[in-house]
């Protein structure tokens, strides 16, 4: 998609401030780029800040500008980067006390557990597990309502006990802050403090440099983020928020659609992108049943606008486990076959290859072979092998790609600077190696490496030793090289790894798409929730909305057999074409 539609052109030329509500597949990144590149070379005080939530998303905008022959649009006076980076560079770092080596971390998990442990008696909780937030008065509190189940089990629900955990968590955090460590939450707290106590210092440089600040994926902003953006707006900095509130799926990060709506109202009448260049009309029709406000379905306008493949309802048994294969696989009720096999065969009837199929669910535990493993729970060799596979996945999320690059970048820096075991951010700061540069090296290394095998470690170490190093690198023999062997996945049952089907939870699919998507809904309450829930207040419905809008051509919904009829009734009432698949494929419908 290169030409602008009328809706897109209006969004490119409209004066700030405003909110741009963009439906899935609306080409919002194309619009942001077009708006940015429409400017002539910027004057000294005519910059624009383009803010995303991941380095990968920022790199995409940077790459588009360079490819378009406008590298000037990524340099001063412009800023193309993350919201965290913007807050740090312009609202916090210049005003921090001198005499301390300040180090910004994306997570307390980047520090050794011994530094971040919170203890009461024999119970231990890691600081990284504590979801801090700021209330409307700027006071720090712990959001116990969004804390992990394992944390709540240790803390319990006694108010006095929770206050004691909060007091001790703040003591540990304050100790680390005294050593110069800051996470994104700390940066936001300090930004809020400086905006309130030093506005005459903080605001003039921002107003002077930027004539516009554009925040992409604004529905993911926390309440604190929105407070800070509101303060910039109130100080006269023109804002553009690009958002789809129905895709606000990060409530556990304190994202708040209501606060977004309140800020949006201050920016004046919103603009909308309602033409979906990704999905078929059938998929647009089903998606409309999941979102808030009762708005009509978006207009299918892309290459699949004339297609009408019905939604496939797959009656499914979710309690069956395929013992001996190492996978927990939901079964198609009538054929008693793995649901993944059945769906990929249905996709094949539409000439969709398994590699362009996605199986998803809200929780990782509900997926075939589901688990809750994190990047940090694997040994270094297995973690790097996982990173290798991630960068080759056809639709890996921006967050997953960034974690993959980080794993490889850390392996390189651990070899280059063997005297430190600090986080990648700390190594980057100490050796003046820009984090963006380190991540680029990580991406390049992963693409250079061969496929993981049982003898992969030696190949990795050879590549690391030969990799071009910074001038101040001081590698020391084999210190920092990879040890151990990666766990190479065993061949999976048909329909899983052997077919190349992507299987991931909804949060990892954000920003990606596929020709065929199967959403697993194992709860017996799913259809009732779908029919009577309000996505404005129900994050689960928004998760389902994100899942179904990843699909371009074919959408499947797997539900317990007892819900099949109810889902048919719901979709019939919405006028969404659908069919129930009861047996073996018998050809196209």
| Residues with Cβ within 8 Å of residue 467, at least 6 apart in sequence | 412, 441, 445
Distance, CA of 565 to CA of 569 (rounded, Å): 6
Pairing relationship of beta strands 271-273 and 18-22 according to DSSP bridges: parallel
Distance, CA of 355 to CA of 516 (rounded, Å): 10
| Residues with Cβ within 8 Å of residue 84, at least 6 apart in sequence | 104, 106, 184, 187
The answer to whether 442 and 405 have CB atoms below 8 angstroms apart is: yes
Per DSSP, helices labelled H in 393-455 are 398-416, 424-430, 435-448
The answer to whether 381 and 457 have CB atoms below 8 angstroms apart is: yes
251 labelled ligand-binding:
no
Buried residues in 555-575 as b, exposed as e (16+ CB within 10 A):
bbbbbbeebbeebeebbeeee
27 labelled ligand-binding:
yes
- Provide the strand spans (E) within 444-544: 502-505, 514-520
218 labelled ligand-binding:
no
| Residues with Cβ within 8 Å of residue 437, at least 6 apart in sequence | none
Token pair in block for residue 159? 């108010």
Q: How big is the chain, counted in residues? A: 589
The percent helix, strand, coil of the chain (3-state, each to 5) is 45, 15, 35
Distance, CA of 529 to CA of 533 (rounded, Å): 5
25 labelled ligand-binding:
yes
Distance, CA of 533 to CA of 525 (rounded, Å): 11
28 labelled ligand-binding:
yes
293 labelled ligand-binding:
no
Distance, CA of 207 to CA of 90 (rounded, Å): 11
23 labelled ligand-binding:
yes
Annotated binding site for ATP: 22-29
Q: What residues are designated binding site?
A: 22-29
């Amino acid at each position: 998609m290169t030409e602008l539609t009328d809706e897109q052109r209006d969004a490119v030329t409209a004066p700030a401030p405003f909110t741009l509500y963009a439906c899935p597949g609306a080409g919002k990144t194309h619009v942001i780029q077009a708006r940015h590149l429409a400017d002539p070379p910027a004057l000294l005080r005519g910059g624009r800040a383009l803010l995303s939530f991941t380095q990968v998303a920022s790199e995409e905008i940077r790459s588009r500008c360079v490819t378009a022959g406008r590298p000037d649009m990524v340099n001063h006076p412009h800023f193309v980067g993350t919201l965290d980076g913007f807050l740090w560079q312009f609202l916090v770092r210049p005003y921090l006390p001198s005499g301390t080596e300040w180090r910004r971390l994306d997570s307390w998990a980047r520090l050794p557990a011994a530094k971040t442990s919170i203890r009461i008696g024999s119970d231990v909780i890691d600081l990284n597990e504590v979801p801090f937030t700021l209330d409307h008065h700027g006071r720090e509190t712990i959001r116990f309502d969004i804390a992990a189940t394992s944390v709540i089990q240790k803390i319990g629900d006694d108010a006095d006990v929770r206050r004691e955990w909060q007091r001790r968590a703040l003591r540990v955090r304050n100790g680390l802050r005294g050593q110069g460590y800051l996470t994104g939450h700390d940066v936001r707290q300090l930004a809020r403090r400086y905006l309130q106590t030093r506005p005459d210092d903080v605001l003039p440089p921002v107003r002077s440099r930027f004539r516009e600040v554009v925040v992409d994926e604004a529905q993911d902003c926390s309440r604190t983020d929105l407070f800070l953006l509101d303060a910039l707006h109130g100080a006269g900095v023109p804002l553009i928020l690009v958002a789809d509130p129905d895709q606000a799926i990060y409530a556990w990060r304190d994202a708040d659609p209501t606060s977004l709506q309140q800020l949006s109202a201050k920016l004046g009448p919103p603009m909308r992108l309602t033409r979906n260049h990704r999905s078929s009309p059938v998929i647009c029709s089903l998606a409309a049943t999941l979102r808030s406000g009762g708005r009509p379905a978006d207009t299918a306008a892309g290459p699949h606008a004339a297609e009408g493949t019905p939604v496939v309802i797959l009656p499914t048994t979710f309690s069956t486990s395929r013992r001996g294969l190492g996978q927990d696989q939901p079964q198609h009720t009538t054929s008693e076959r793995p649901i993944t096999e059945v769906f990929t065969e249905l996709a094949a009837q539409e000439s969709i290859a398994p590699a362009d199929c996605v199986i998803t669910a809200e929780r990782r535990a509900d997926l075939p072979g589901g688990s809750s493993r994190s990047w940090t729970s694997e040994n270094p060799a297995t973690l790097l092998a996982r990173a290798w596979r991630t960068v080759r996945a056809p639709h890996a999320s921006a967050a997953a790609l960034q974690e993959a690059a980080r794993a490889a970048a850390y392996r390189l820096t651990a070899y280059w600077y063997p005297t430190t075991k600090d986080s990648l951010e700390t190594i980057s700061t100490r050796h003046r190696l820009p984090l963006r540069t380190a991540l680029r090296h990580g991406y390049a290394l992963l693409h250079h490496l061969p496929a993981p095998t049982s003898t992969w470690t030696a190949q990795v170490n050879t590549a690391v030793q030969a990799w071009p190093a910074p001038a101040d690198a001081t590698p020391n023999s084999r210190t920092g090289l990879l040890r151990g062997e990666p766990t190479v996945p065993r061949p999976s049952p048909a329909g899983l790894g052997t077919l190349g089907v992507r299987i991931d939870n909804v949060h990892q699919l954000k920003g990606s798409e596929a020709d065929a998507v199967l959403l697993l809904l194992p709860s017996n309450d799913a259809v009732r929730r779908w029919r009577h829930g309000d996505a404005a207040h129900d994050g689960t419905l928004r998760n389902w909305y994100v899942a179904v809008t990843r699909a371009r051509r074919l959408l499947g919904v797997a539900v317990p057999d007892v819900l099949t009829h109810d889902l048919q009734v719901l979709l019939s009432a919405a006028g969404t074409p659908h069919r129930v698949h009861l047996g073996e494929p018998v050809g196209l419908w």
